[in-house]
Amino acid sequence: MRFLCVAALIAVVWGSLWARAFSLQVMDTRELGRRALRQHLTSELVTGRRGEILDRDNRVLASTLAIKSVFVRPYEVKSPYTVSVRLASILGVDPKFIRKKIRKGRNFVWIKRKIDDRAAAAVKKLGLKGVYLQKEFGRIYPNKMLCGNLLGYVGVDEKGLAGIEYAFNKTLTGSSSKFVVQRDAAGRRLFLQGAEETTPLQGDNIALTIDSEIQFFAEQAVQHAVEVYDAKWGGAMVVDVASGDILAWAQAPMFNPNVYGQYSASQRRDRIAQDALEMGSTIKPFLMAAALEEKIIEPDSLVFCENGKWRLHKVRIRDTKKLQWLTAKKVLSYSSNIGTAKIGLDLGATKYRDYLVRLGFGKKAALPLAGQSSGILRPLNRWTQIDLANAAFGQGFAATMPQLAEAYLALANGGVRKPLRLVKNFSLNEKVLNENSQRIFSEETAHTVLKMMADVVDNGTGKSAAIAGVSIGGKTGTAQKASARGGYGDKYTSSFVGLVPAENPRFITLVVVDEPAKNYYGSKVAAPAFKEIAMRHMALNGTLPDSEQSRLLADTASTERKPQYGERRFGVDGQPQASGKSVPDLRGKSIRFALEVYARQGVIPSVKGSGAFVKKQQPAAGAKWSAGNKQQYILWLSEQS
């Protein structure tokens, strides 16, 4: 009887096992298959690499590198304490922070995004269950502060947040695709099963009109002026007259977009595009051009300047000197506010304001940048005689540097407006192009004003901008800033605009220094910065007279600041001055470090293999950097350093 009971029990157990096996193998096959697929196959969204931002000669200003981020699948982690402690020592994160994330999360939690290559290698070596590395992309700016305020920056998700990065985010952003990824029992990635959509494509590159060499020494000159005169900020623009190309867009203080979070919003602000200032006497050439065009004056017309003091409807207008009878030419040379106010009153508000509007004031410059200011130009019905007199010498309305550059470009271009260009592969629509191609002044008027501006530098307030053997047309500006309490206070904006050569300009250079504390005259603060930029620019293109070339070399040797690591350095002849004349040994270095080294030489190497470190390089260490595209540069990668 006992035997029969045991046999029956065994039969029941085996029957149950066979029934369960039958159920698993036959009845529940589909459901179990779906569960297995969910465990071993996941869908990943892969985004193509962000396009690069280049200068006019294809030097890299912003690039993108593959970079690793750490994430955890909490349901796979057996010991949150062990994982948090071991990760914390590598990532520099509080272990409590990691444990909290693991315990709160379910399927996926980021621990730290965009870590350096050595940290990624260390995390991988740990082999912790449930801890993974995800490839993302990280933006680098190899020249650090160069063009920082113009370029802008991207956030952790690689979306542009400011500057060119923001304005061209759609163009620069790569396309995205989904892939099915198979993983083993430990959760390790095995292979891509296949694309659900099209293969991701890299974003398009953007080529700026900026010349990195000119940009560099323009930034130096502006930074020097800001430091010496303890100013709020300074800016410089260099424009090629023939094309309208902006060769330099320099601002100081500068910021490094690689670490944008370390700077305030004010420091990151692109003030050249976004700050509208009363430009003062740099507006006077347009008043003169309008008056000449309307036959109100001739260059030799006489104007009485009231011995430096004049009342207009109980408002006092002053000059810095006691000037009496001056020709219109000398009114501009000596920058007489009284003289220009009288000419403005003769011209009339309607005509003068119309010329300002046609020159582009009161409307955003035709540049592909977000956040540009339109400036301030009040409606005609709000202009009194006092407003007209003030506007004649550049007070009472405000403009940005690009607006001022556009207006001077019209003078330099024979009286015809020409649009500025900042991005090489960007075209204006037909309507905007037509608006920016109108004739404003006759060729004769434009030529006459350029001659008058040459006298400003030769004999007037712009003498400090003079360069021996070079014909320069220019205009100084010193504008009182409006006070928050009404009227004008004790702060100023200093400016200088120069055209080289004066009679047939090839280049326009603008310098603005806002709120200098130690001096405020444009002739003292801004004109010397213009001179430095102009001399180095002419040295670069081989047009600086020999005597001035020698002096510039001596001055540069004694005053040039030491560049920071990662910063491009250029000599007087404009050629890159690397930290070494030969290719360094990059074996064992991280790919990010190596690409920064190459980028500072304007080189984009080919990358072969996979990994985070350089295993082999071509050419070998010690080879000379090659000019142009004569040498092919290749890096082979490895997972180990």
The 10s digit of each residue's pLDDT in 257-304 is: 998 999 999 999 999 999 999 999 999 999 999 999 999 999 999 999
Secondary structure (3-state) at 563: coil
pLDDT exceeds cutoff 90 at 25: no
Secondary structure (3-state) at 48: coil
pLDDT exceeds cutoff 50 at 342: yes
Give the per-residue pLDDT at 8: 66
585's tokens: 């040994």
Give the per-residue pLDDT at 558: 42
0.85 surpassed by pTM: no
- Which helix (H) or strand (E) element contains residue 344? helix 337-347
Nearest-CA neighbor of 586 among 618, 614, 608, 607? 614
Return the minimum-mean-pLDDT range out of 309-318, 449-458, 605-614.
605-614
Q: Which residue has the higher pLDDT, 74 or 334?
A: 334
Nearest-CA neighbor of 387 among 513, 515, 276, 278? 278
Question: How far are the Cα atoms of 455, 472, 523, 621 from residue 502, in angstroms, in the given order?
Answer: 10, 5, 18, 48
Average pLDDT, rounded, for the chain:
85
The domain locations on the chain are: 46-207, 212-559, 582-638
Identical fold at 46-207 and 582-638? no
Ordered DSSP codes for 214-266 = HHHHHHHHHHHHHHHTT-SEEEEEEEETTT-BEEEEEEES---GGGGGGS-HH
- Determine the distance from the C-alpha atom of residue 385 to the mean position of all C-alpha atoms in its chain, rounded to a whole number: 41
The CATH code of the domain at 582-638 is 3.30.10.20
Give the per-residue pLDDT at 273: 97
Query: What is the residue type of 27?
Result: M
At residue 344's C-alpha, the angle toward residues 342 and 346, to 5°, is 75
* CB contact burial 396-409 (16+ within 10 A = b; e otherwise): bbbbbbbbbbbbbb
Confidence of residue 212 (pLDDT cuts 50, 70, 90): very high
614's tokens: 């350089």
Give yes or no for a contact between 99 and 74, defined as CB atoms under 8 angstroms apart.
no
* CB contact burial 272-284 (16+ within 10 A = b; e otherwise): bbebbbbbbbbbb
- Determine the distance from the C-alpha atom of residue 477 to the mean position of all C-alpha atoms in its chain, rounded to a whole number: 26
Give the per-residue pLDDT at 452: 98
Residue tagged 């405000």 (tokens): 398
Q: Which residue has the higher pLDDT, 14 or 540?
A: 540
Residue-wise pLDDT for 171-187, tens only, equals 999 887 766 666 655 55
Nearest-CA neighbor of 49 among 173, 197, 169? 173
Domain 212-559 has CATH 3.40.710.10: yes
Give yes or no for a contact between 583 and 619, defined as CB atoms under 8 angstroms apart.
yes
The second-level CATH assignment, the architecture, of 46-207 is: Alpha-Beta Complex (3.90)
Report the distance separating Cα 631 and Cα 629, nearest Å: 6
pLDDT exceeds cutoff 70 at 20: no
Residues 403-421: what's their mean pLDDT? 97
Q: Which residues contact 343 (CB under 8 A, 6 or more apart)?
A: 287, 288, 291, 296, 297, 303, 328, 331, 392
Strands (E), 453-572: 473-482, 488-500, 507-514
Secondary structure (3-state) at 115: strand
Residue-wise pLDDT for 27-84, tens only, equals 556 665 665 555 556 666 667 889 999 999 998 999 988 788 898 888 888 888 888 8
Report the distance separating Cα 142 and Cα 567, nearest Å: 7
pLDDT exceeds cutoff 70 at 495: yes
Question: How far are the Cα atoms of 81, 293, 486 from residue 385, in angstroms, in the given order?
Answer: 78, 21, 19
DSSP, res 547: H
Query: What is the residue type of 65?
Result: L
